[in-house]
Amino acid sequence: MKVTAQPSADTLTLLLDGELDASSAIVLDTELAKPDILNYRKVLIDCAKLSYISSAGLGVFISHLQRFQDANVKLVFFNMQEKVFNVFEILGLDALMTIVPSATEAEAA
């Protein structure tokens, strides 16, 4: 699992590549836990190359959800594969998080 950060003026895009499981969740958690991430208006998660997400992976997003909301930082997921989307949907996270089809919608969100 590889996490690539692409910062721009008010948006940070994180590209996830590989399987997000208990071991790789730590990498992502470190990235999301950085204090200056709250200076962005939006954090976009590009899931095009995210092939699998385990409960530990979901746990990382869940644990930062409140913090992002409190700081008024929008968390937007896009390019999500159907299989990964299903995992978010079953857990009910689709009603809680913004998941859009592509980068265009993500930027507009």
- Identity of the residue, 62 or 103, whose beta carbon is nearer to other proteins in the bound complex: 62
- Per the listing, tokens 């692409």 go with 6
Rounded distance between C-alpha atoms, residue 58 and residue 25, angstroms:
9
Rounded least distance, CB 103 to other proteins, Å: 26
The answer to the question of residue 103 lying near other proteins (CB under 8 A) is no
Q: The tokens of 86 are what?
A: 């299903």
Looking at 1-9, 10-18, 50-58, 98-106, which segment touches other proteins (CB under 8 A)?
50-58
The answer to the question of residue 93 lying near other proteins (CB under 8 A) is yes
Task: Assess contact for 77 and 98: CB atoms under 8 A.
Answer: yes
Rounded distance between C-alpha atoms, residue 54 and residue 43, angstroms:
21
Give the per-residue contact string, 56-75, with other proteins (x = CB under 8 A; - = no).
Answer: x-xxx-xx-xx---------
